[in-house]
């Protein structure tokens, strides 16, 4: 009996040796401590509350690229990198070899088959379609008019009311409502008036937030775990199901209403009220079914709502906590428009192009706090990255956009400083930085189609608010990134608004 126990112990030890040897061979450049069976997941979960800063710190120690292994028998293994040369290789030079992949589409199921999850021909079709819509002059005019009216008639009067009351306000919530109204107007052609002094609760907006939180959750736990939750309809997956049901009902109702509305008009009878993207999609592609339209609308909502909210929120926090930058932005506005009397109004797209320092300040905010903090790709064939790391077929590559903005090798020893000057040349023009270094708008063929439109919107909002009001962060407030697929502030941005002296 004792002999059998002895032999069993030897066999167990042998298999343990094989297991650890296999793990060591598979993970030559570990990101975190590799625990038996559980892999590196415990260390990730333990530091989840500071996930972005912690991953940045560890990546710096590992030379910019390292491997992450999840629990045994899970599909959580990936290569994590913030090295711009690796990003350039994956996103541009070897673009055909790296795709979103089926696992990505499972995790981002709420996005359907839209442009963010699509690969190959489906992605090309979506991109060409949206490119033609965004570049259409009528849409650019419609976009500018929509933003201008929303800022002039709703945002500024609301801030004026808040400053008169002396209330503390969550500026992130304000921007969330502002961008939600804007994206509804741009995509669907109607304004839900979410931005209001009484801050109404909007079910559809809450559903979007919940879906994004659940998607983030799916990326940090084993697939088998969240799939089990989905099957049992418990926890985050129950919330995800309810959120998607609300979203689908809302979007499909809008599509049906739009079809009914368009059937009443002939094409030559459509005026300015019919320049929204849903109308354009229905007119551009007669064969587009409701499923395609639903996925397109969802993807456009995420692209044009949360990313702008994130960018504006972090921008105003950085400006409010860096008074010298604020003073330079105001000085530039005054210099450009001192005889225009538009200093206290809303500038046009052509006018905001003159605000070079403001543009640099927004780029700095996006560098330090990219709205999408992580990007992931899947290798089709085996490859070797420029950093020397081997990539097997079906290997997942995870880019930390957040870490990339904090590498001294790329941005210098002052990389943690909010310094708009790094974007401005001696001739007072914007310094060009390759997209694989400044990746806030993605890089390579998948570079964001709405990049210019986003800058116009952010500059119009920023110039209008800063010209009229001073934003002061409440004493003791600490800005903490949220755990979501979009880099928002965990507790919002609590500020007081005061009227600026003219």
Tens digit of pLDDT for each residue in 404-437? 999 999 999 999 999 999 999 988 899 999 999 9
Burial of residue 4 (CB within 10 Å: 0-12, 13-18, 19+) is exposed
Instruction: Assign 3-class secondary structure to 128-179.
Output: HHHHHHHCCHHHHHHHHHHHHHHHHHHHHHHHHHHHHHCCEEEHHHHHHHHH
Nearest to 314 by CA among 405, 201, 400, 375: 405
Decide if pLDDT at 93 tops 90.
yes
The pLDDT, as a whole number, for residue 226 is 92
The C-alpha atoms of residue 439 and residue 404 are separated, in whole angstroms, by 8
Order of all β-strands in the sheet with 469-473: 168-170, 494-499, 469-473
Angle between helices 306-320 and 171-183 (to 10 degrees): 150
How far does Cα 12 stand from its chain's mean position? 47
Q: What DSSP element (H or E) covers 256? A: helix 235-263
The rounded percent of the chain whose pLDDT value lies above 70 is: 90
Decide if pLDDT at 216 tops 60.
yes
The C-alpha atoms of residue 95 and residue 76 are separated, in whole angstroms, by 23
Determine how β-strand 98-99 pairs with β-strand 168-170: unpaired
The span from the first CA to the last CA of the chain, in angstroms, equals: 93
Decide if pLDDT at 274 tops 60.
no
Angle between helices 356-368 and 306-320 (to 10 degrees): 110
Helix or strand or coil: residue 301? Answer: helix
Look up tokens 């604020």; give the residue.
326
Map out the domains of the chain as residue ranges.
2-96, 123-400+410-499
Contact 50, 396 (CB under 8 A): no
Nearest to 442 by CA among 416, 407, 404: 404
Nearest to 178 by CA among 495, 478, 462: 462
Q: Does domain 123-400+410-499 have CATH number 1.10.630.10?
A: yes
Contact 134, 453 (CB under 8 A): yes
Q: What is the mean pLDDT of residues 140-156?
A: 92
Decide if pLDDT at 285 tops 80.
no
Look up tokens 């560890």; give the residue.
58
**What residues are designated binding site for heme?**
448
Q: What is the mean pLDDT of residues 211-236?
A: 90
Order of all β-strands in the sheet with 98-99: 65-68, 78-81, 396-400, 374-379, 98-99
- The CA distances from residue 414 to 81, 93, 438, 502, in Å, are 21, 30, 16, 34
How far does Cα 275 stand from its chain's mean position? 26
What is the per-residue pLDDT across 10-68, written as a single tens digit (0 to 9) for each? 544 444 443 444 444 455 567 667 778 778 777 777 887 788 888 898 889 888 898 88
Contact 175, 312 (CB under 8 A): yes
Burial of residue 85 (CB within 10 Å: 0-12, 13-18, 19+) is middle
Mean pLDDT (the chain, rounded): 86
Lowest-confidence segment of 1-15, 249-263, 276-290 by average pLDDT: 1-15
The pLDDT, as a whole number, for residue 39 is 83
Decide if pLDDT at 379 tops 50.
yes
**What residues are designated binding site?**
448
Decide if pLDDT at 305 tops 70.
yes
Burial of residue 322 (CB within 10 Å: 0-12, 13-18, 19+) is middle
The C-alpha atoms of residue 265 and residue 269 are separated, in whole angstroms, by 6
Q: Which residue has the higher pLDDT, 204 or 8?
A: 204
């Amino acid at each position: 009996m004792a002999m059998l126990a002895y032999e069993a112990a030897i066999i167990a030890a042998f298999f343990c040796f094989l297991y650890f040897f296999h793990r060591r061979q598979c993970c030559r450049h570990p990101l975190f401590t590799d625990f038996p069976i559980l892999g590196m997941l415990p260390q990730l979960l333990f530091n989840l509350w500071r996930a972005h800063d912690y991953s940045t710190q560890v990546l710096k120690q590992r030379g910019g690229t390292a491997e992450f292994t999840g629990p045994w028998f899970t599909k959580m293994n990936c290569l994590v990198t913030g090295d711009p040369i690796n990003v350039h290789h994956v996103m541009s030079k070897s673009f055909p070899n790296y795709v979103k992949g089926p696992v990505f589409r499972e995790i981002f199921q709420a996005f359907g088959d839209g442009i963010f999850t699509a690969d190959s021909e489906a992605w090309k079709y979506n991109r060409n379609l949206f490119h033609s819509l965004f570049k259409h002059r009528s849409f650019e005019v419609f976009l500018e008019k929509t933003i201008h009216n929303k800022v002039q008639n709703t945002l500024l009067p609301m801030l004026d009311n808040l400053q008169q009351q002396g209330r503390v306000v969550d500026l992130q919530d304000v921007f969330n409502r502002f961008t939600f109204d804007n994206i509804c107007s741009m995509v669907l052609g109607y304004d839900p008036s979410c931005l209001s002094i009484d801050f109404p609760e909007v079910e559809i907006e809450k559903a979007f937030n919940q879906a994004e939180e659940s998607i983030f959750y799916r990326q940090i736990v084993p697939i088998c775990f969240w799939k089990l939750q989905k099957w049992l309809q418990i926890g985050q997956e129950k919330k995800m199901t309810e959120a998607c049901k609300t979203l689908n009902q809302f979007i499909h109702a809008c599509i049906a209403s739009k079809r009914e509305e368009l059937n009443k008009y002939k094409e030559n009878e459509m005026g300015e009220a019919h320049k929204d993207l849903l109308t354009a999609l229905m007119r551009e592609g007669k064969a587009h079914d409701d499923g395609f339209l639903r996925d397109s609308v969802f993807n456009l909502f995420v692209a044009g709502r949360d990313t702008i909210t994130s960018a504006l929120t972090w921008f105003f926090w950085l400006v409010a906590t860096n008074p010298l930058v604020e003073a330079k932005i105001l000085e530039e506005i005054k210099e450009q428009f001192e005889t225009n009397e538009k200093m206290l109004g809303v500038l046009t797209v052509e006018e905001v192009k003159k605000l070079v320092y403001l543009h640099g300040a927004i780029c700095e905010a996006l560098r330090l706090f990219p709205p999408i903090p992580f990007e992931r790709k899947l290798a089709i064939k085996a490859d070797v990255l420029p950093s020397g790391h081997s990539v097997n077929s079906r290997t997942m590559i995870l880019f930390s956009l957040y870490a990339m903005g904090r590498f001294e090798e790329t941005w210098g020893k002052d990389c943690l400083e909010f310094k708009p000057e790094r974007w401005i040349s001696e001739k007072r023009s914007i310094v060009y930085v390759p997209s694989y270094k400044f990746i806030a708008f993605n890089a390579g063929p998948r570079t964001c189609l709405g990049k210019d439109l986003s800058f116009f919107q952010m500059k119009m909002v920023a110039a209008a608010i800063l010209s009229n009001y001073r934003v002061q962060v409440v004493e003791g407030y600490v800005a903490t990134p949220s755990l979501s697929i979009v880099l928002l502030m965990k507790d919002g941005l609590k500020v007081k608004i005061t009227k600026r002296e003219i």
